[in-house]
């Protein structure tokens, strides 16, 4: 475990409560570049809260977040984005009425001229469409027609567009919340391949998943959360599947 460089993302002592409910109670996690970290846990264990804090949707009550060893402030989704953290939410957060390029660039449009206030600038439609094609092609995501609103695409294609959007802009960390939950076997396969490709590109990846087989396959490391605490960390393998499950449900780990 000698570390030549600090991890891409490191969360220490994360605490968050909603009223009387303690969602996170001093959780530590770290992810390195080229590594897939699985966050496991039953419903209400704190996985979603943790990733929402890292993606800027919630603010931690206590604890620190460091990126490459430097403390950062994640006060809003825009902060997280600016730091190269991209999140693929379980609901995908796609704009069903817009085409893939518009989905990619919503809120960060390529614009001109720069001297105008941002909202009044003109969008560089063509440039955005071209860049979108390049990313989709790099990730081998096939979309039949780039003018099709994503609402008319299949579940797998929508998932792929959402993952590709995150991959396009993430320079450090990609967070995926249940990326295969709504997909069939074949479509899950593609998403797993896609995640492997992101890892190969050197991104640090955090995945929340209930699909134990998928976790075994894609994750280099797994952290198990229970009632807001990290109760175990291990390398998921078929041999220790039982151990993981008992950690999740709270048996004798």
Partner 1 sequence: MASDATERDAHPNTASDGHGAAATFGASRMDWPAGYLPKGSTPAGGGSGSPLAGPRRDPGGLGLAALRVGPALMLLVVVLAAGALSPVFFTTRNLGNVLSQTAVIAILALAQLLVIVTRGIDLSVGSTLALSAVAGALVFGSMESGPLVILAMLATGAVVGAVNGGVLVWGRLPHPFIMTLAMLSIARGLALWLSGGQPISGMPEVVQRIGGGSIGWFPYSAFLVVGLALMTLLLTRAMVWGRWIFAVGGNPDAARRAAIPVKGVVVSVYVISGLAAGIAAVVNAGRLNGGSPTFGELAELDAIAAVVIGGASFHGGRGHVGNALVGALMIGVIRNAMNLLDVNAFLQPIVIGVVIVLAVELDVVRGLLEERLRILQAARS
Q: Residues interacting with partner 1, by CB under 8 A?
A: 57, 76-78, 81-82, 87, 89, 91, 93-98, 102, 104-111, 117-123, 125-126, 129-148, 152-154, 156-157, 160, 167-171, 190, 193-194, 197, 201
Whole-Å CA distances, 103 to 4, 91, 200, 231:
37, 14, 24, 38
Rounded Cα distance between 240 and 237, Å, is 6
3-state secondary structure of 59: coil
State the DSSP string of 226-242: ETTEEEEEE---GGGHH
Rounded Cα distance between 147 and 225, Å, is 42
User: What is the closest distance, in whole angstroms, from the C-beta atom of residue 48 to partner 1 in the complex?
Assistant: 14
- Pick the closer one to partner 1 by CB: 32 or 52: 52
- Pick the closer one to partner 1 by CB: 70 or 122: 122
User: What is the closest distance, in whole angstroms, from the C-beta atom of residue 132 to partner 1 in the complex?
Assistant: 8
User: What is the closest distance, in whole angstroms, from the C-beta atom of residue 220 to partner 1 in the complex?
Assistant: 21
User: What is the closest distance, in whole angstroms, from the C-beta atom of residue 114 to partner 1 in the complex?
Assistant: 8
- Pick the closer one to partner 1 by CB: 74 or 222: 74
The DSSP output letter for 71 is: E
N- to C-terminal Cα separation, the chain: 23
User: What is the closest distance, in whole angstroms, from the C-beta atom of residue 30 to partner 1 in the complex?
Assistant: 23
> Can you say whether the dihedral through the CA atoms of 140, 145, 148, 154 is positive or negative?
negative
> Can you say whether the dihedral through the CA atoms of 233, 206, 155, 80 is positive or negative?
positive
What's the token pair of residue 93?
């957060």
- Pick the closer one to partner 1 by CB: 160 or 215: 160
- Pick the closer one to partner 1 by CB: 102 or 230: 102
Rounded Cα distance between 188 and 127, Å, is 31
User: What is the closest distance, in whole angstroms, from the C-beta atom of residue 29 to partner 1 in the complex?
Assistant: 21
- Pick the closer one to partner 1 by CB: 104 or 236: 104
> What is the helix (H) or strand (E) element at residue 88, kind and residue range?
strand 85-88
For residues 109 and 57, the answer to whether their CB atoms sit within 8 Å is: no
- Pick the closer one to partner 1 by CB: 2 or 113: 113
User: What is the closest distance, in whole angstroms, from the C-beta atom of residue 183 to partner 1 in the complex?
Assistant: 11
């Amino acid at each position: 475990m000698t570390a030549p460089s600090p991890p891409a993302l490191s969360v220490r002592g994360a605490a968050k409560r909603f009223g009387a409910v303690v969602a996170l109670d001093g959780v530590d996690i770290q992810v390195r570049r080229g590594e897939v970290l699985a966050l496991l846990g039953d419903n209400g264990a704190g996985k979603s809260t943790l990733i929402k804090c890292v993606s800027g949707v919630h603010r931690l009550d206590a604890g620190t977040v460091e990126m490459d060893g430097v403390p950062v402030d994640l006060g809003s989704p825009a902060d997280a984005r600016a730091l190269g953290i991209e999140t693929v939410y379980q609901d995908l957060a796609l704009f069903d009425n817009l085409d893939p390029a518009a989905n990619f660039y919503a809120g960060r449009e390529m614009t001109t001229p720069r001297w105008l206030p941002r909202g009044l600038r003109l969008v560089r439609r063509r440039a955005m469409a071209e860049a979108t094609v390049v990313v989709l092609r790099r990730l081998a995501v096939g979309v039949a027609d780039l003018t099709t609103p994503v609402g008319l695409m299949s579940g797998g294609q929508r998932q792929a567009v959402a993952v590709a959007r995150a991959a396009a802009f993430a320079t450090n960390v990609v967070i995926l919340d249940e990326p295969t939950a709504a997909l069939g076997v074949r479509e899950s396969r593609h998403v797993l391949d896609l995640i492997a490709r992101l890892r190969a590109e050197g991104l640090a990846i955090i995945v929340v998943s209930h699909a134990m087989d998928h976790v075994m396959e894609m994750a280099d490391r797994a952290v198990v959360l229970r009632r807001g605490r990290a109760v175990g960390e291990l390398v998921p393998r078929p041999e220790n599947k039982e151990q993981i499950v008992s950690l999740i449900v709270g048996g004798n780990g």
